[in-house]
Amino acid sequence: MTDGPDDGAAEREGAVPTDYDGTAYPQAESASDLAGVPDGLSRLWTPHRIAYIEAGGVPSSHECPFCVAPTLSDEQGLIVHRGEHAFVLMNLFPYNSGHLLICPYRHVAGYDETTEAESAEMTHLTQTAMRVLRATSGPAGFNIGMNQGAVAGAGVAAHLHQHVVPRWASDANFFPIIAQTKAIPKLLGDARRELAEAWPV
């Protein structure tokens, strides 16, 4: 063993980061070569949100995203775990890193429309999600709930889904108030992989 530099460091530094679906992010340009006057402000670039903005805050496809997700690979569908009657996936528009959704496979809108097996498994998956999130990221608390109907705030009202949102004491700042923007420090693909690997078999 030597005290020399990490042989893999250069390779990691030169690696092109990718999004959850494998799309490569472009390399950053040096700001010193660009026109403009420094103003002392930092910029938070979130190009992934343009699809959400252009769609008016709703999914751009007419297909149900929660019916489509299970037909894709886990990586493409952002699926963390597949159960018998329900599955767990990352929220494509998360409130916080690790924001999970628990969905039945069956396309039903109301919680009162689920079978006993579906509701029991959703409860079990919610509990497991909390345990896995505690183990991987140590949140101080959770927001857990369902928005039933578009009038109640459901983004996809036609397919039941329960939110599991990890919370930390320092996770709120002024962005949501003045810019309706939430800063998410971890890429969805990285968060999905971390949670899937920690999910009990």
- Please determine, for residue 6, whether its predicted confidence score (pLDDT) is greater than 70: no
Interatomic CA distance for residues 83 and 120, integer angstroms: 11
Q: Does some domain include residue 102? A: yes
**Between 43 and 18, residue with greater pLDDT:** 18
Residue 70's CATH number: 3.30.428.10
Whether this prediction's pTM lies above 0.85 is answered by no
Q: Does some domain include residue 71? A: yes
Over residues 79-92, the pLDDT tens digits come to: 999 999 999 999 98
Closest residue by Cα to residue 69 from 81, 52, 57: 81
- Can 161 be counted among the known catalytic residues? yes
Helices (H), the chain: 9-14, 50-54, 65-68, 74-77, 116-137, 175-178, 188-198
pLDDT at 13: 53
Interatomic CA distance for residues 32 and 186, integer angstroms: 27
State yes or no: 163 annotated in a binding site.
yes
pLDDT at 53: 58
Q: Does some domain include residue 9? A: no
Q: Does some domain include residue 5? A: no
Over residues 40-62, the pLDDT tens digits come to: 555 556 655 555 555 555 555 57
> How far, CA to CA in Å, does 172 sit from each of 76, 147, 175, 176, 184?
29, 21, 8, 8, 11
pLDDT at 169: 84
Q: Does some domain include residue 149? A: yes
pLDDT at 201: 82
Residue with tokens 């092109």: 16
- Please determine, for residue 104, whether its predicted confidence score (pLDDT) is greater than 50: yes
pLDDT at 2: 45
Q: Does some domain include residue 33? A: no
Over residues 137-190, the pLDDT tens digits come to: 999 999 999 999 988 888 899 999 999 999 988 776 544 444 455 566 677 888
- Please determine, for residue 129, whether its predicted confidence score (pLDDT) is greater than 90: yes
Q: 81, 85, 159, 161: which one is catalytic?
A: 161
Q: Does some domain include residue 150? A: yes
Q: Does some domain include residue 62? A: yes
State yes or no: 154 annotated in a binding site.
yes
Interatomic CA distance for residues 193 and 5, integer angstroms: 28
Dihedral sign from CA coordinates of 74, 79, 82, 87: negative
Range of the domain at 108: 47-198
Residue 83 burial (10 A CB sphere; 0-12, 13-18, 19+): middle
* CA max distance for the chain: 63
pLDDT at 9: 44
State yes or no: 155 annotated in a binding site.
yes
pLDDT at 32: 58
Query: What's the chain's average pLDDT?
Result: 79
Interatomic CA distance for residues 34 and 36, integer angstroms: 7
Domain count, the chain: 1
State yes or no: 80 annotated in a binding site.
no
